[in-house]
Structure 1
Amino acid sequence: MFSRQAARVLARNARLFSSSAPRQTKVAVLGASGGIGQPLSLLLKLDPLVSSLNLYDIRLAPGVAADVSHIDTPGEVNGYPADKLDDALDGVKVVVIPAGVPRKPGSDPSGPQTNASIVRDLASAVARVSPEAHVLVISNPVNSTVPIVASVFEKAGVFDPRRVFGVTTLDVVRAARFVSGIANVAPAQTPITVVGGHSGVTIVPLLSQNRYGKSLAGEAYEKLVHRIQFGGDEVVKAKDGAGSATLSMAYAGAKFANALLRGLNGEKGVVTPTFVKSDLYADKGVDFFASNVELGKNGVEKIYPVGPISPEEQKLLDAALPELKKNIEKGRAFAAQ
């Protein structure tokens, strides 16, 4: 027998896939041929709220678009090569940026400047062609690339803090999955709010705010927190240098994109963690921060405070803020060059 929650999910999905569902959002994926970009494009093609999907990359994007376009769901797909970036961005409402180089074993997700350069150049094009688009940044290091996008937009005079997001959903997905495995329950019963940033010690899972998470203590708690914070290393090691967390990141990116699209289409009560311009810890020099955010027709509608946390979580937060400040400053300094 279905639970009430399951029935609500089925009813919502039925509404979305019905002919009367709103399908009015044009989405662009910049970096559509990469390890994240291809599965992300596939998942976005399955989203009934995406009416049109523009796939861009410096190579192979038209081929990826042709492949994805054969999927029997509504919504058209177009591919754009390296010299057609402006065309790919024309008229889009949401831009998702997974472009960049994958992590290698032993590398730091807050690391190299290659992705920073890519994101800076893509942001410049978005600011010029589609300045009112909502921008979802997946490219690491998110703690720095989001401030880079904001700085580029500020310089162009088009920055709207309600429309720029760092996608931290993979930390949320991992936390729910790992806790559910320990508790032997479905992940739907273990939603974990994850705040802070999107690398290492800047990732702060608020386990105390979930009935199953708060039961963990001592070594079990410490091991779980470490696994959530450094889950990416686990995947990089398992792939033996051949890649990073591409499939789970694509899923997380599509999940956040769907949440934003639902908000843009007028659904109420869409709340999820994301890394945005925030005043929560601005007095500590941290003016970008991930916390629960309500999404709506204008993008960010409300930023929620962290809420009651345990002493252990306060220690995690105290360790995260200085590192997060350095990451943000690094992004701004790069954009200013």
Structure 2
Amino acid sequence: MSRITTPFGFESTAAEVIAGVDLSGRRAIVTGGASGIGVETARALAVAGAEVTLAVRNTAAGERVAGQLIESTGNNHVFVAPIELADRASVRAFAANWTGPLHILVNNAGVMAEPLTRTPEGWEHQFATNHLGHFGLTLGLYDALAAAGDARVVSVSSSAHLRSDVHFDDVHFDVRPYDPWAAYGQSKTANVLFAVEAAKRWASAGIVVNALMPGGIRTALQRHVENNLTPAMQKLFDEATWKTVEQGAATSVLLAASPLTAGVTGKYFEDNNEAEAPVEGRNGGVAPYALDPESATRLWELSERLVAQV
């Protein structure tokens, strides 16, 4: 199958990729919709006429952003609902409180390269938040997605997935020394593997699921980064070409709403095009292990067991 490409690229903005698209009557959820590229993702969907719910930890911040979005877009169907992705009860409550169909789910929220933190279950916090929380949320919303008939799920990953496969023998760093970047990379690989497996399992329900790398964007996501950079990584950060938040949200919006990606599923995109295999000397690409169907199934089964624990 040939690689999927679009007229858009690195510099394209969310507004550009959704221009001319009418989302009237469609309902969307954006996790982490109160900051960074989550705001711009929500803005683009709202401008196109969608009903948008910001799923956020800080509801006060969410309400402020919702008010700003309503004012700037003229769309008064922007709502806020609380969720703590690392808390299974919070995730279940969010899903249980949702009624009616859901056409677009953008799993955007995340934490990056933080010091070792564990949930009450003993789970490593980045894996628990970035992967397990979104896994549980999406499963909990499955009926709503299926009811839409042509729903799209977007899993925001990162080029950091190239730093680590999923270590099934020690997912939560119970044995191996904790490394914040390895943990982040593992969680981002999990985001891609989730899309691969969900695409296969849910095709018959008309649900498409894709993952993406938004690009390097300076946001609050990087609040832990300065304390965790090796000299080589510091050099990469200093020399990087950064995107604006409007550019960083573009690939999410492309997968969430553009007719150019209708029916596309189980893929990993970057800069608004399907990613190729990594090439030495070039940033980006998608690791073969992140698209491995056997690993995707294994991760799904592990994740089901974990989120179902009592």
TM-score w.r.t. the length of structure 1 is 0.48
Q: Which residue of 1 is the match for residue 33 of structure 2?
A: 32
Provide the secondary structure at the position in 1 that maps to 2:52: strand
Match of 1:321 among 271, 288, 294: 288
Q: Which residue of 1 is the match for residue 51 of structure 2?
A: 52
Q: Which residue of 1 is the match for residue 254 of structure 2?
A: 259
2:34/2:65 contact within 8 Å kept:
yes
1:3-82 maps to which residues of 2 (within 5 A)? 16=19, 22-24=22-24, 25-33=26-34, 36-45=37-46, 48-60=47-59, 61-74=62-75, 76-82=77-83
Provide the secondary structure at the position in 2 that maps to 1:335: helix
> Are 1:334 and 2:280 counterparts?
no
Change in 2 beyond 3 A, CA 1:39/1:148 = same
1:136/1:164 contact within 8 Å kept:
yes
Provide the secondary structure at the position in 1 that maps to 2:127: coil
2:250/2:272 contact within 8 Å kept:
no
Provide the secondary structure at the position in 2 that maps to 1:95: strand
Change in 2 beyond 3 A, CA 1:320/1:166 = closer
Provide the secondary structure at the position in 2 that maps to 1:28: strand
Q: Which residue of 2 is the match for residue 98 of structure 1?
A: 108
TM-score w.r.t. the length of structure 2 is 0.51
How many residue pairs end up in the alignment? Answer: 227
Deviates more, 1:36-45 or 1:71-80: 36-45
What is the Cα deviation at residue 29 of structure 1? 0.9
Note the residue ranges of structure 2 that are not aligned, 5 or more in a row.
Answer: 1-7, 84-92, 118-125, 158-183, 229-236, 306-310
Q: Which residue of 1 is the match for residue 153 of structure 2?
A: 135
CA–CA separation in structure 1 for the residues paired with 2:38 and 2:251: 15
What is the Cα deviation at residue 125 of structure 1? 1.9
Change in 2 beyond 3 A, CA 1:88/1:167 = farther
Provide the secondary structure at the position in 2 that maps to 1:71: helix
Provide the secondary structure at the position in 1 that maps to 2:130: helix
2:131/2:191 contact within 8 Å kept:
yes
1:124-163 maps to which residues of 2 (within 5 A)? 124-131=139-146, 132=149, 133-138=151-156, 141-148=187-194, 151=197, 163=208
CA–CA separation in structure 1 for the residues paired with 2:195 and 2:99: 16
CA–CA separation in structure 1 for the residues paired with 2:101 and 2:214: 26
AA at the equivalent of 2:22: P
CA–CA separation in structure 2 for the residues paired with 1:305 and 1:34: 26
Larger radius of gyration: 1
Provide the secondary structure at the position in 1 that maps to 2:50: strand
Change in 2 beyond 3 A, CA 1:331/1:252 = farther
CA–CA separation in structure 1 for the residues paired with 2:212 and 2:51: 21
The CA deviation string for residues 193-225 of structure 1, in whole angstroms up to 9 with x for no partner, is xxxxxxxxxxxxxxxxxxxxxxxxxxxxxxxxx
1:92/1:130 contact within 8 Å kept:
yes
CA–CA separation in structure 2 for the residues paired with 1:332 and 1:72: 38
Provide the secondary structure at the position in 1 that maps to 2:302: helix
Larger RCO: 1 or 2 (CA < 8 Å, sep 6+): 2
AA at the equivalent of 1:263: S
What is the Cα deviation at residue 138 of structure 1? 1.2
The CA deviation string for residues 89-116 of structure 1, in whole angstroms up to 9 with x for no partner, is 6333211111333333799xxx734422
CA–CA separation in structure 2 for the residues paired with 1:150 and 1:58: 27
1:100/1:114 contact within 8 Å kept:
yes
Match of 1:167 among 201, 212, 227: 212
1:94/1:135 contact within 8 Å kept:
yes
CA–CA separation in structure 1 for the residues paired with 2:105 and 2:247: 15
CA–CA separation in structure 2 for the residues paired with 1:123 and 1:150: 14
Change in 2 beyond 3 A, CA 1:249/1:328 = farther
1:96/1:135 contact within 8 Å kept:
yes
Q: Which residue of 2 is the match for residue 186 of structure 1?
A: none
The CA deviation string for residues 3-56 of structure 1, in whole angstroms up to 9 with x for no partner, is xx9xxx9xx96x947xxx7342432112324555345434544xx324321222
1:136/1:166 contact within 8 Å kept:
yes
Change in 2 beyond 3 A, CA 1:123/1:271 = closer
Q: Which residue of 2 is the match for residue 221 of structure 1?
A: none
AA at the equivalent of 1:136: V
1:177-196 maps to which residues of 2 (within 5 A)? none
1:222-241 maps to which residues of 2 (within 5 A)? 239-240=226-227
Q: RMSD of the alignment, in Å?
A: 5.2
Deviates more, 1:138-147 or 1:90-99: 138-147
2:107/2:155 contact within 8 Å kept:
yes
CA–CA separation in structure 2 for the residues paired with 1:34 and 1:293: 20
